[in-house]
Chain A
Amino acid sequence: MAEDKPSWKEYPMAATIHSPGSATDQNTGDWKSMRPVRDSSKCDKCGICWIFCPDAALYMTEEGFYEVDLYHCKGCGICAHECRKEAITMVEEGE
């Protein structure tokens, strides 16, 4: 709704961002066409997917697996490419 958005008077001067790390609030994962899906039976929790993810969109669960944060994941597929156990498959969004 356009009328809910701020007027030009309400934005900080020159669009300067005053809260560090605010990019985490941005939903940057809504335009991916492929998403990574992990087969936990193949995964040995080595963490190479976590190391290679260029967007820090993986986090470790209590069980030690690396879960994808789909809010930020852009579906680049680097994790699936790097996984030595072939435990990550890229699946078409919508499937």
Chain B
Amino acid sequence: MGERVGLEVSLAVSEAVKLARADVIAAYPITPQTHIVEELSQMVADGDLDAEYVMVESEHSAMSACCGAAAVGARTFTATASQGLALMHEVLFIASGLRLPVVMAVANRALSAPISIWGDQSDVMSERDSGWIQLFAETGQEALDLTIQAFKIAEDRRVLLPAEVNIDGFTLSHVVEPIVIPGQEEVDSFLPPYEPQVILDPEKPVTMGPVGFPELYTEIKKQQNEALLGSYEVILEVWDRFAESFGRKYRPVEHYRTEDAEILINMAGAMSGTARIAVDMMRETGKKVGLIRTRLWRPYPFDEIRNAVKGAKAVAVVDRALSFGGQGGPMCSELRSALYPLAEKPVVTSYIAGLGGRDITVENFQTIVEDTGDVLANGPREEYKMIGVRE
């Protein structure tokens, strides 16, 4: 049933890629993602992983190489962060537009300037609309599991879209956690070899990515969007199948102590661990506080979010990214929009925290809940608050 070991989360992601029997890995090192691809290159060099490891000169080339590899039918993986993801930007849209099931891990890190190698989620939020399936892990086990699942979801013929597994840089990528490494046979039976629908083949030539004239482009984008929306059901199926095989259950939205909760905190990623401790402490003092964690970010789980907030008086959304000049936090904007059509909906408050590697503490979450209580009592005020900023 697999072996439980203490392992750095980055290396657990590499292990997942090895277990998934990736055919091609093309990557460029960038902090805090480097350990993932460093380990993979070692696995290939040692003969432990029968894959082509393509050394490239940039992330733009890494994603381009991944597209080429996926287009000939290879199971393809890359990993990046921050500026690297930003450099991939235009090619991300090509991967999704060409319906290539590339899998990528992103060790989330702040964007320059000023230069910051530390964690936040501004990198992935800038690629929110790139057409990729986007998942957030909280723990090392989840990072490993989601990576294996990502291949199965992406390669499903009803989906055929690239998928991204987000792990917070350093606070998740660089920590050592107890992680169950599944057996190769179990993974093989869960994830059979990729059977592509269309590939580049000189014996049977096709043109991928031709000109899309105005009379065609809208229909192709509709097709792509339907595939992304439709991936939701496939994701649920894959998670059910995963639970049968490995015993670990996954849902688009994770609930923690939400029963009878009046104030819910919503966030994604590793900070949820700290938030749980804060919830436990506040529960001990009689505060009715719960937590909903967004695991699936694209496609956005509208119904699950609407159901999750039922009965709550307020939802406090904590974003590790700032949408300049807008509503503040991208996750909060999405949640607000999802709740807008409801006749009865909770008050939504927005908080920005943990930018550029600043710690998010238990006290921060207590402050957020108190502040949301204040909004409930005294009515709305500013659109969002930046937590811990020195005025």
Is B32 interfacial (CB-CB < 8 Å)? no
Bound Cα distance from A12 to B160, whole angstroms: 13
Is A6 interfacial (CB-CB < 8 Å)? yes
The answer to whether A6 and B98 have CB atoms under 8 Å apart is: no
The answer to whether B219 and A13 have CB atoms under 8 Å apart is: no
Is B197 interfacial (CB-CB < 8 Å)? yes
Q: Would you give the shortest CB distance from A14 to chain B, in whole angstroms?
A: 5
Name B208's contact: one of A5, A6, A14 (CB within 8 Å). A14
The answer to whether B216 and A15 have CB atoms under 8 Å apart is: yes
Q: What residues of chain B lie closer than 8 Å to A8, measured between beta carbons? A: 218-220, 222-223, 226
Main SS at interface, chain A? loop
The answer to whether residues A13 and B215 also contact, given A18-B206, A20-B205 and a CB cut-off of 8 A, is: no
Q: Would you give the shortest CB distance from A1 to chain B, in whole angstroms?
A: 12
Is B224 interfacial (CB-CB < 8 Å)? yes
Is B320 interfacial (CB-CB < 8 Å)? no
The answer to whether B207 and A16 have CB atoms under 8 Å apart is: yes
List CB contacts (< 8 Å) of B155-176 with chain A.
Answer: 160
The answer to whether residues A15 and B210 also contact, given A7-B219, A8-B219, A8-B220 and a CB cut-off of 8 A, is: yes
Is B55 interfacial (CB-CB < 8 Å)? no
Is B326 interfacial (CB-CB < 8 Å)? no
Bound Cα distance from A5 to B213, whole angstroms: 13
List CB contacts (< 8 Å) of A1-32 with chain B.
Answer: 5-9, 11-18, 20, 22
The answer to whether A16 and B206 have CB atoms under 8 Å apart is: yes
What is the number of residues of chain A that contact chain B, defined by CB distance less than 8 Å? 15
Bound Cα distance from A13 to B71, whole angstroms: 13
Q: Would you give the shortest CB distance from A56 to chain B, in whole angstroms?
A: 17
The answer to whether B207 and A13 have CB atoms under 8 Å apart is: no
Q: What residues of chain A lie closer than 8 Å to B218, measured between beta carbons? A: 8
Is B99 interfacial (CB-CB < 8 Å)? yes
Q: Would you give the shortest CB distance from B221 to chain A, in whole angstroms?
A: 8
Q: What residues of chain B lie closer than 8 Å to A11, measured between beta carbons? A: 216, 219-220, 223
List CB contacts (< 8 Å) of B182-211 with chain A.
Answer: 197-198, 205-210
Bound Cα distance from A9 to B226, whole angstroms: 10
Bound Cα distance from A7 to B219, whole angstroms: 7
Name A14's contact: one of B209, B222, B226 (CB within 8 Å). B209
The answer to whether B207 and A17 have CB atoms under 8 Å apart is: yes
Q: What residues of chain B lie closer than 8 Å to A6, measured between beta carbons? A: 219
Q: Would you give the shortest CB distance from A71 to chain B, in whole angstroms?
A: 17
The answer to whether A5 and B215 have CB atoms under 8 Å apart is: yes
Q: Would you give the shortest CB distance from B220 to chain A, in whole angstroms?
A: 5
Could you give, for residues 22-46 of chain A, a 1 whenever the CB lies within 8 Å of some chain B CB and a 0 otherwise? 1000000000000000000000000
Is B212 interfacial (CB-CB < 8 Å)? yes
Bound Cα distance from A12 to B209, whole angstroms: 11
Is B97 interfacial (CB-CB < 8 Å)? yes
Nearest residue (CB) in B for A15 is: B220
List CB contacts (< 8 Å) of B268-293 with chain A.
Answer: none
Bound Cα distance from A67 to B233, whole angstroms: 57
Could you give, for residues 55-81 of chain A, a 1 whenever the CB lies within 8 Å of some chain B CB and a 0 otherwise? 000000000000000000000000000
The answer to whether residues A16 and B198 also contact, given A5-B215, A11-B216 and a CB cut-off of 8 A, is: yes
The answer to whether A17 and B219 have CB atoms under 8 Å apart is: no
Bound Cα distance from A18 to B207, whole angstroms: 7
Q: What residues of chain A lie closer than 8 Å to B207, measured between beta carbons? A: 16-17, 20, 22
Q: What residues of chain A lie closer than 8 Å to B215, measured between beta carbons? A: 5
Nearest residue (CB) in A for B210 is: A17
Name B99's contact: one of A5, A7, A13, A17 (CB within 8 Å). A13
Q: Would you give the shortest CB distance from B364 to chain A, in whole angstroms?
A: 44
Nearest residue (CB) in B for A2 is: B215
Bound Cα distance from A11 to B222, whole angstroms: 11
Bound Cα distance from A9 to B212, whole angstroms: 16
The answer to whether A16 and B219 have CB atoms under 8 Å apart is: no
Nearest residue (CB) in A for B96 is: A14
B interface residues with partner A (beta carbon < 8 Å): 97-99, 160, 197-198, 205-210, 212, 215-216, 218-220, 222-224, 226
Q: Please, could you name 8 A-B residue pairs with CB atoms under 8 Å apart, sorted by A?
A: A11-B223, A14-B97, A14-B208, A14-B209, A15-B216, A16-B206, A17-B207, A20-B206
Q: Nearest 6 A-B pairs (CB), nearest first?
A: A8-B219, A17-B207, A8-B222, A20-B205, A14-B99, A15-B220
Given A5-B215, A11-B220, A14-B98, 12 more A-B residue pairs with CB atoms under 8 Å apart are: A8-B218, A8-B223, A11-B216, A11-B219, A13-B198, A15-B216, A16-B207, A16-B208, A16-B210, A17-B206, A17-B207, A18-B206
